[in-house]
Each structure stands twice: as structure tokens, then as C-alpha cells.
Amino acid sequence: MCRKPLFILLSATTFAVIPKTIYAGWTRTYGGVGFDAGRCVEQTDDGGYVITGYTRSFGAGESDLWLLKTDPLGDTVWTKIYGSKNRDWGFRVRQTFDGAYIILGGTFPVDSGLPITWLLKTDFLGDTLWTQTYEGTGSWGQGGNWIEQTTDNGYIITGRKHSDLWLVKLDSLGEILWERSYGGEWYDEGHCVQEASDGGYIVTGYTSSLEEYGHDLWLLKVDDQGDTLWTAAFDDIEGGASEGFVVREKEDGDYMISGVWEIMPMRFALGLFLADEDGYIYPTPQIWVDYDGWYNSMALASDGCVIVASNPEDEAVLIKTNLGGVPRWERTYKGEGHAYGSCVQATSDGGYIIVGSTHPSGAEERDLWLIKTDSLGYVDAVVEDRVVEAPNWKLVTSIGPQIVLRYADHPQGFHASIFDATGRKVDELHATESSGMITWGKCYGCYGCYELGVYFIRSSSGSATAGKVVLVE
């Protein structure tokens, strides 16, 4: 049976010179002298992040698809550039079941003036395994709008092809198994698709074909071959437009849809719709977020949704609502001049990761911008400069099977928390003496209480400082 690590207390006095670092949140920028931006971010199995977008600072084309891999603190692990001499970009990225990456983007072929959908599969280091192109396009011509890996190791994509909502099922190599178009004589489009628990697919987006000049949230349920089981639209009796952006199946078989609803001419509310398993759509009964700005992305969670947007002051804004659509909180993030948030995802530590871009007012260059927040949307930026602390504590051994730290001048004793690389608290250290030493890590006589890897120790008494440690054999 594993025991908690023994605390060894000895008399000691020391002066510490360590980085002052807060790990709850941080911001990072990436790019060169050109126009660079992030469009999608996803947390990976190792606690880090994978980001796609486009770059005009690197590569050989007008713009190139950009893929970046970072560690949990946003430090670059590697970057890759893909593309031709024409314009290319990445719009969605997902980590696949085998630890690799699938990127949904767009490209302008050399012999055509119209953009087409571009799909790339890479290994875990970003090296290309295969690519495919398809004729469907999505919003603003960036290619398909959404991609998910399916349980058969294939993929499902939705977007727009010509003027119809487009749905295409692929095998594991990106070859088309079937594709379907849905809609009428006006514009119809899919924004999100998810595999349903019965093996079919649920799609949300909008339709303009149900009535002249209408623009309604559209929900489609199809079987595993794309044949329609039912469709439903949210038709506001007062004629206001609505649109669905993300859909998730709930445990009870109903659906949650994040979207927008025109509550007065050119004034949109952001929030949640609910739909039953037969497709009846109704807005949540509470007051929605009446937001004067530009919607960019939504992410759904079991307790509500988070919305990233840009306000008229060119700031990124994150809004959290509960299941009733009632705002819980709103946070604003200032970049260097103009700032935009393009995509938000929930992270394993209960916080959020946002990707977008920022650039000084009037400047031509723009940098990809990555923001990590805690569960309440707060950001404490990492301060990388080394600072001198008053006599407090320091790491005597920071790498090994056990970590040893020495502290001094703590009249109320020493207290610290230990976090893993994802930001999850895994342990606490407590000592009652005013000065001493503490040993933490692998237990003697067993395989160990903690997995080998990177951890962070942050004191909560005296001067609140943090240190990075690595548990190895």
C-alpha cells in the first residue's frame, strides 16, 4: 500500500532566486513580420495544445496553413507549414484516436478561382501522412466548417456545397464513402456535425430555403448513410433570424445547440437552444446574453456554454452562461491594439483555451494569440523574468525520484500545493515548523504514489512563489 511521502524537517536558512510564475492562466503570441492568425485550438492528450490557422510570415505562398504544437504552458514544441504558392489556411484541427492530427482547411487550386476543402492527416510530430481535397466550401470560403472523427476511424465533415448544406462521410484515409446535400433554392449551410449514440449524425446550421427571406436555425438528424430521419427549424414567429453553431447530444438523448437569435432588427442574443429527440426546438426560458459585438465561437459544456466574441472596442470577450442561458460572468482580454478571439475550448483543468489574433492599431502585421484562463475566465500571465525573493524557500533537488525543498522564516509553518502539467492539483505539502526541509515524490517500498513527469510546486504561505520539478527514476 502506498503511503504519502514522508516530511523530513531540519533546521535551515536560505535565500531563494526563482522564477515568479502563476500557472492558472497565461497568454502567448506567435508569428513573424507578416499577418498570422489562429482559427482553432484543441487540448491534446499530453495536456498541451494544437493550433491551426494561417501565416503570411512563413512559407512560400500568399498565405499557408499553419500547425503549432505547444506544451501545457504555451511554449512551442514544434510548428509546421503546409501549402502552395496560392492561398491556404487551416480552420479546424482534431487529435485523432492514434495521437495524430487531422486538419480541415481550404486552398485555392492553381487552375480555379474558387476555394475548395483541404484535409490533411499528420503524425504526432506534424509530418504529413496524406492529404485530400473536396469541392465543398463553407462560410467565407474557408472550406468545410466542421470535422469529427467517427467510431469507425473515419471522419464526418459538414459545410456548404454550392448553395446547399453539405455532409460527407470519409474512411480512415479521407476517401469519400458517401456525400449528401440538403436544402432548397436558397442558401443552407452546416456549421457542426456530431456522431449520435445510435450511429447516425446530428447536424446544425441554418436554412434560408423554408421561407422567402428567412434565415432559421436548422437541425438535421440522418442515419449512418446520410439519409434524412427528420429535420427541424427554429422559426421565430416575429421573423427574427436564428442560426445554430455547435450541437451536442445529451445523456437523455436530447440535444443542446449553441447559437444566435435576432431579438430585434440587427440585435442578436447569444445562448442555448434545446431540442428533444424528435427535433422539436425551443429556446431556453431564461434571458439570453444580449451582446453588442461580433460572435466568433461557442463551446458547450455540461453546465452551460462559453462564448468567445469580439466587441466594438476590438477586444476579445469570453462569456459563460448556465444551462438556462443566463450569463454567469463576462471577461475582456486586451491585446496589442486590435484583438480577436476566434475559437474557445474547455480544458481538462476546468479552464478555457482561446485562440485568435492581435496586432497594433494601424500596423500590417498580426500575431497568433493564445489565451489560457482558469475556470472563471481569469488570466494570470506568466512572468518569465527571474526575480529575487526574500528568504523563503528553494528547491534543493528538483529532478529525481524524490524532490527536496528547504524553507525558512515561516512562523505559521510552510504550506504549498502541487499541480501536474495540466494544472490539476494533485497534492498539498504542510509542515508546522518555521524552518525545515520537505521531501516529496516516490514512496519507498512501492511503485510510487505519483506518475513520473513534470509538476509545479507553489507555496501558499510567505511569498507565494512556484517552482518546476520533474519526477524521474
- Provide the residue-wise pLDDT of the chain in tens; the chain has 473 residues: 343 332 322 222 233 333 434 346 899 999 888 888 889 999 999 899 999 998 888 877 678 899 999 999 999 999 999 987 778 889 999 999 989 999 999 887 766 667 788 999 999 899 999 999 987 655 545 468 999 999 999 999 999 888 889 999 999 999 999 999 998 888 899 999 999 999 999 999 999 887 655 688 899 999 999 999 999 988 765 557 888 889 999 888 889 888 888 777 767 777 788 888 888 887 765 545 666 666 678 887 767 788 887 777 788 888 888 776 677 888 989 877 788 888 999 998 889 999 988 887 666 678 899 999 998 899 874 433 333 334 477 777 777 788 888 888 788 888 888 877 655 678 888 888 888 888 888 654 443 467 777 787 877 654 445 677 778 76
Q: Cα angle vertex 152, ends 149, 157, to 5°? A: 35
Q: Which residue has the cell 422539436?
A: 280
Give a yes or no: residue 258 inside a domain. Answer: yes
216/293 same-domain check: yes
91/176 same-domain check: yes
162/292 same-domain check: yes
CA distances from 436 to 23, 94, 374, 412, 419 (A): 26, 47, 32, 13, 22
171/48 same-domain check: yes
Domain boundary, last residue among 343, 373, 403? 373
Give a yes or no: residue 4 inside a domain. Answer: no
219/313 same-domain check: yes
Residues 6+ apart with CB under 8 A from 39: 52, 53, 54, 89, 90, 91, 92, 142, 342, 343, 355
DSSP 292-340: -SEEEEEEEETTEEEEEEE-TTS-EEEEEE-TTS-EEEEEEE-BSBEEE
CA distances from 158 to 151, 170, 275 (A): 17, 11, 20
220/84 same-domain check: yes
Give a yes or no: residue 360 inside a domain. Answer: yes
Q: What is the CATH number of the domain that holds 305?
A: 2.130.10.10
For residue 441, how many other CB atoms are within 10 A of its CB?
21
Phi, then psi, of 437 in degrees rounded to 5:
-130, 145
**What gap in Å lies between CA 149 and CA 268, rounded to an integer?**
32
347/309 same-domain check: yes
461/348 same-domain check: no
For residue 326, how many other CB atoms are within 10 A of its CB?
15
Do residues 110 and 83 lie in contact, with contact meaning Cβ atoms separated by under 8 Å?
Answer: no
Q: What is the bridge-based pairing of β-strands 386-388 and 17-19?
A: antiparallel
Give a yes or no: residue 320 inside a domain. Answer: yes
Domain boundary, last residue among 348, 373, 398? 373
Domain boundary, last residue among 373, 401, 432? 373
Do residues 41 and 48 lie in contact, with contact meaning Cβ atoms separated by under 8 Å?
Answer: no
Range of the domain at 64: 26-373
Q: What is the CATH number of the domain that holds 459?
A: 2.60.40.3080
202/292 same-domain check: yes
**What gap in Å lies between CA 178 and CA 176, rounded to an integer?**
6
Structural domain tally of the chain?
Answer: 2
Give the closest residue to 370 by CA, choosing from 36, 96, 33.
Answer: 36
Do residues 59 and 53 lie in contact, with contact meaning Cβ atoms separated by under 8 Å?
Answer: no
Question: Over the Cα atoms of the chain, what is R_g?
Answer: 25
Give a yes or no: residue 118 inside a domain. Answer: yes
332/256 same-domain check: yes
Give a yes or no: residue 440 inside a domain. Answer: yes
Give a yes or no: residue 7 inside a domain. Answer: no
Give a yes or no: residue 380 inside a domain. Answer: no
192/50 same-domain check: yes
Do residues 181 and 188 lie in contact, with contact meaning Cβ atoms separated by under 8 Å?
Answer: no
138/287 same-domain check: yes
